């Protein structure tokens, strides 16, 4: 069982930070919806408030790490241009997808959408974290502001979902592989 | 009355900061929300325009391995942060029409998201 450096980076980007963000998002949406609704009779403790504030900040950090590793570490490997006349395109995922009519749309729609919509996520969640840290429990007094924060957080979740779905499908049809190989396990015959 | 009593009770555990937050104007929140909408809209617009105008795409090629995406995303981030700074500067001590600011932000967010979808960009 072995893994290439590029494969490992893809794993860290998608299954690590990306999936972590999606999981974290569901808690933030539920908490903001349930606890900070206008005229809520449920008291909000300082501990709850501090926890959600830190949670949103960590989510923003995770979102930025995800898009930055995607755009500046993995994407250059994806879009690398093969030398002229090269037939084996396995190390050039974008060229590989574009070389076949059955897979070209995974690039033309999948990657083109993913590479842009992904940036909605960190912008939205950074705003949500900043607004929450400023208003905290007083968000219950500003229903429109809370609604806006909720919608932006939900949009960040949907954007990350789109990016994650296409990331997984693209990696299935044209995996980003290469670089040094690390042996994870020395298998024997079974 | 009960709600106010509840708010006073929960605030009692952290008096100073909570009271000062209670008196806060809505301007800073509106500024953050509207700026995020502007940033998302900028992302969609710059992506579409860079796709249509090869000269702009070349100009936005800030980091060659990443290509024009580096400039498209950086431009959107700069627009977002600049909008946030300017709006915050003007609204930090004011109460603004939150309904209008939020509506504008959500429309900008929606249009920005739609513009990132390639078939819509190609159609324009």
Residue A148 has a CB neighbour count (10 Å cut-off) of 28
**Number of domains chain B is built from:** 1
Answer yes or no: is pLDDT of A45 > 90: no
Burial class (CB in 10 A: 0-12, 13-18, 19+), B20: exposed
**Whether pLDDT at A36 is above 50:** yes
Residues of chain B positioned with their CB less than 8 A from the CB of A113: 116-118
CA dist B107 and B112 (Å) reads 8
Q: Which residue has the tokens 């990306």?
A: A18
Over residues B1-12, the mean pLDDT reads 37
List, in sequence order, every residue forming a beta bridge with A4; answer none if it has no partner: A181
End-to-end CA distance of chain B: 54
Q: Are B47 and A115 in contact (CB under 8 A)?
A: no
CA distance A25 to A62: 11
Q: Which residues on neighbouring strands pair with residue A182, listed in sequence order?
A: A3
Touching check for A44 and chain B: CB below 8 Å? Answer: yes
Q: What is the pLDDT of residues A116-156, one digit of tens each?
A: 999 999 999 999 999 999 999 888 889 999 999 999 999 99
Domain assignment present for B2: no
Distance, CA of A35 to CA of A49 (rounded, Å): 10
Distance from CA of A44 to the nearest CA of B (A): 7
Residue B40 covered by a domain? yes
pLDDT at A86: 85
Whether A172 has its CB under 8 Å from any CB of chain B: the answer is no
A183 forms beta bridges with A2
Greatest CA separation for chain B: 63
B48, part of any domain: yes
Of A45, A116, A144, which is closest to B116 when you measure between CB atoms? A116
DSSP A10-53: HHIIIIIIIHHHHHHHHHHHHHHHHHSSTT--S---HHHHHHHH
Identify whether B72 is part of a domain.
yes
Task: Find residues 69-108 of chain B whose CB sits inside 8 Å of chain A.
Answer: 69-70, 72-73, 76-77, 80, 98-99, 102, 105-106
Q: Is residue B38 part of a domain?
A: yes
Is residue B94 a contact partner of residue B33, using CB atoms and an 8 Å limit? no
The CA distance from B54 to the nearest CA of chain A, in Å, is 16
List the domain range (segments joined by +) for residue B34: 25-123
Residue B53 has pLDDT above 50, yes or no: yes
More confident residue, B8 or B86: B86
Alpha-carbon distance B80 to nearest alpha carbon in chain A (angstroms): 8
> Between B2, B18, B29, which is nearest A134 by CB?
B29
B114 in any annotated domain: yes
Of A1-5, A86-90, B57-61, B70-74, least confident by mean pLDDT is A86-90
Can you say how many angstroms the Cα of residue A153 is from the centroid of all Cα atoms in its chain? 13
Tokens of B12: 């009692």
Q: What is the dihedral of CA B108, B110, B114, B116, to 10 degrees?
A: 60
Contacts of B14 in chain A (CB under 8 A): 46
Average pLDDT over residues B55-78: 97
Q: How far apart are CA B69 and CA B50, in angstroms?
A: 9
Instruction: Please tell me the pTM assigned to this model.
Output: 0.89
Q: B10 in a domain, yes or no?
A: no
Distances (CA, A) of A96 to A91, A174, A175: 8, 7, 10
Beta carbons of A71 and B35 less than 8 Å apart: no
Report CA B82 to chain centroid distance, whole Å. 10
Q: In Å, how far is B49's CA from the nearest CA of chain A?
A: 13
Band (B70; pLDDT cuts 50, 70, 90): very high
Interface check B3 vs A, CB under 8 A: yes
């Amino acid at each position: 069982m072995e893994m290439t450096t590029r494969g490992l980076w893809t794993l860290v980007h998608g299954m690590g930070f990306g999936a972590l963000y999606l999981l974290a998002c569901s808690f933030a949406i539920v908490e903001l919806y349930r606890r900070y609704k206008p005229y809520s009779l449920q008291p909000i403790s300082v501990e709850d408030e501090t926890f959600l504030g830190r949670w949103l900040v960590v989510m923003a950090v995770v979102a930025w790490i995800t898009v930055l590793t995607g755009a500046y570490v993995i994407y250059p490997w994806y879009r690398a241009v093969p030398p002229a006349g090269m037939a084996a395109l396995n190390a050039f995922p974008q060229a590989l997808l574009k070389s076949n009519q059955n897979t070209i749309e995974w690039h033309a729609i999948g990657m083109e959408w993913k590479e842009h919509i992904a940036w909605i996520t960190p912008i939205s969640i950074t705003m949500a974290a900043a607004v929450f840290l400023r208003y905290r429990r007083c968000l219950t007094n500003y229903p429109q502001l809370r609604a806006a924060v909720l919608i932006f957080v939900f949009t960040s979740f949907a954007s990350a979902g789109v990016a994650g779905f296409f990331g997984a499908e693209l990696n299935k049809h044209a995996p980003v592989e290469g670089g040094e190989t690390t042996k994870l396990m020395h298998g024997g015959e079974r | 009355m009960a709600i106010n009593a509840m708010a006073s009770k929960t605030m009692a555990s952290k008096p100073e900061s909570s009271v000062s937050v209670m008196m806060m104007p809505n301007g800073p929140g509106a500024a953050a929300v509207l700026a995020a909408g502007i940033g998302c809209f900028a992302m969609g617009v710059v992506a579409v325009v860079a796709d249509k105008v090869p000269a702009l795409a070349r100009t936005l090629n800030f980091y060659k391995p990443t290509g024009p995406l580096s400039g498209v995303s950086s431009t959107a981030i700069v627009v977002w942060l600049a909008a946030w700074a300017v709006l915050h500067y003007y609204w930090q001590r004011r109460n603004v029409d939150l309904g209008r600011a939020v509506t504008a932000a959500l429309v900008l967010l929606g249009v920005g998201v739609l513009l990132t979808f390639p078939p819509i960009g190609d159609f324009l």
